[in-house]
Amino acid sequence: MNRRTTHRTHRTKRRTTLAGTLLATVLLATACTGSGGSSKGEDAQAPDDPKSVSGTIKVLTHRTDLAQDGTLKKYAAEFNKTYPKVKVEFEALTDYEGEVKIRMNTENYGDVLMIPAVIKKNDYPKFFASLGTVAERSKKYLFTDFTMVDDKVYGQSPMGAVPGFLYNKKVWKAAGITDWPTTPAEFVDALKAVKSRTDAVPYYTNFKDMWPLSQWTSVNGSVGCDTQATTQLAEGNPWAKGADLRVGDTLLYDIVREGLIEKDPTTTNWEASKPKLAKGDIATMWLGSWAVVQFQAAAKKAGTNPDDIGFMPFPAQVDGTFCATMSPDYNQAVNINSDHKEAARAWIDWFTDKSGYAEANMALSPVKGAPLPEVLKPYEKAGVKLIELDDTQGATVKEIDNQSEVGIYKPDYRQDLVDLARGAKKGSLDDFLVELGERWTEAAKTAGS
């Protein structure tokens, strides 16, 4: 898997026939209503004695790369040193979301699986066994709110990430920029310096691949350093003056309007962008800490210095301090229909606590108090404040997003924003953002009813 996968990210799509697509749509509709799972919540208890747990469990995964290179088998072997009577089998799916959403119309969707984005949060108790209460889980783990329903937690992410700009430090230095910009205006000025003093593309949109544009939603909370930023989305207008998304979208618009991007956004290429940034052909991209290891690998392959890959926070400060939100990757859950819930729970706990998966991916550990990964050392050194958003209104936000058809977790409206800024679409930025806000607040009136 080449890019981070979360409830906000995007999978490799396979071509299907029209008939297959229609069938998937029908099955998806029933899966979303919960017809494939039990309507009664259950708990997946943690085992008291590891040696007493037995059974074969199937783990569904999107990490086809780790299945192919044998890494998953190595994890299973380490797991068996603690749980010798549990056999772990893996099924890696290329089109994870597409495959699993169909399987969830039945009871056979593995014993452990990553929670598909298609399942509504309030339906989690129909499909997954509880891992415990929020009070219990939050003592040890981050991100418990993201899978909470009625004070119970139904999933656990094995790693997390924070948003930021990946940049080529060598290029920025050549442009005369050595300090991180602290305001959007300073950031635009820095990109102008890159354009005038180097041959690099100052900012790369990854417009054609689309999904990177949705990463801009992660500015929410980072701009205002507000742990209640998700609640603000549910209760207000995300594009009101001063609101985080308005600040982020305005910066993206200004970058494009000033001609600080690639010549033709419709020809961008995600995979090709990695070595280009590593070699200094591209100066900057907004992504997240999950991407740093991929760009460092691209640098090694290209014969350039991986240390040239830098990572900086969004250019906004509160009381002189940068902030960045912490967000989870895919959340692992226990199938409520599993005959081996105890073994499945054991796998999730071990994989989160003991596998080293987060460290191997240079990612943020979900275990509270764990040291930051190397890629976030610059944030630590600069005193960037890492905050965890309260996600109790997360389900409401997604409902509003779907009803309004705005798509803050999808790339479409930001493609329109880029087109507007580069003159491929008519209109003003203010009118564009006002329309988004009106659609959003109108949908919010009926969300949850």
Question: Do residues 278 and 309 make contact, with C-beta atoms less than 8 angstroms apart?
Answer: yes
Distances (CA, A) of 248 to 187, 239, 421: 12, 10, 14
Helix, strand, coil shares, percent, the chain, to 5: 45, 15, 40
Residue 447's pLDDT band (cuts 50, 70, 90) = confident
* Non-local CB neighbours of 210 within 8 Å, separated by 6+ positions: 10, 411, 412, 415
pLDDT tens, position by position, 101-126: 999 999 999 999 999 988 999 999 99
**Residue 156 CA to its chain's centroid (Å):** 14
φ/ψ region of 153 (left if φ > 0, alpha if ψ in -120 to 50, else beta) reads: beta
pLDDT beyond 70 at 25: no
In which domain, by residue range, is 278 found? Answer: 163-327+392-445
Tokens of 332: 């692992």
- Tokens 């990757």 found at: 329
| Residue 279 resides in a domain | yes
In this structure, of 36-40, 158-162, 173-177, 222-226, the range with the lowest mean pLDDT score is: 36-40
Residues 409 and 272 in one domain: yes
Residues 360 and 237 in one domain: no
| Residue 33 resides in a domain | no
Task: Give the helix ranges, DSSP H, for 236-324.
Answer: 244-257, 270-279, 292-302
Residues 283 and 359 in one domain: no
Helices 71-82 and 341-353 sit at what angle, rounded to 10 degrees?
Answer: 110
* Non-local CB neighbours of 165 within 8 Å, separated by 6+ positions: 284, 285, 286, 287, 311, 312, 313, 314
| Residue 236 resides in a domain | yes
| Residue 19 resides in a domain | no
Residues 189 and 123 in one domain: no
pTM for the structure as a whole: 0.84
Residues 187 and 302 in one domain: yes
Residue 415's pLDDT band (cuts 50, 70, 90) = very high
Instruction: Determine the average pLDDT of the residues in 350-373.
Output: 94
CATH number at residue 78: 3.40.190.10
Residues 342 and 363 in one domain: yes
% of the chain with per-residue pLDDT over 70: 90
pLDDT beyond 60 at 7: no
Residues 220 and 245 in one domain: yes
| Residue 25 resides in a domain | no
Residues 338 and 421 in one domain: no
Residues 269 and 323 in one domain: yes
**Residue 198 CA to its chain's centroid (Å):** 32
Residues 309 and 430 in one domain: yes
Burial of 242 (0-12, 13-18, 19+ CB in 10 A): exposed
pLDDT beyond 70 at 34: no
Tokens of 158: 């094995």
pLDDT tens, position by position, 377-413: 999 999 999 999 999 999 999 999 999 999 998 889 9
| Residue 182 resides in a domain | yes
Number of domains into which the chain is organized: 2
Question: Do residues 204 and 273 make contact, with C-beta atoms less than 8 angstroms apart?
Answer: yes
Question: Do residues 316 and 223 make contact, with C-beta atoms less than 8 angstroms apart?
Answer: yes
Return the pLDDT at 449. Answer: 59
**Measured between alpha carbons, how far is 77 from 285 in angstroms, rounded to an integer?**
38
- Tokens 């205002």 found at: 224
* Non-local CB neighbours of 382 within 8 Å, separated by 6+ positions: 180, 313, 322
Tokens of 89: 């089998």
**Measured between alpha carbons, how far is 212 from 276 in angstroms, rounded to an integer?**
16
Residue 42's pLDDT band (cuts 50, 70, 90) = confident
| Residue 409 resides in a domain | yes
Instruction: Determine the average pLDDT of the residues in 422-442.
Output: 97
Residues 340 and 283 in one domain: no
| Residue 198 resides in a domain | yes
Return the pLDDT at 30. Answer: 37
Mapped onto helix, strand or coil, the DSSP state of residue 16 is coil
pLDDT beyond 90 at 96: yes
The string over 208-225, giving b where at least 16 C-beta atoms fall within 10 Å of a residue's C-beta and e elsewhere, is ebbebbbbbbbbbbbbbb
Residues 127 and 256 in one domain: no
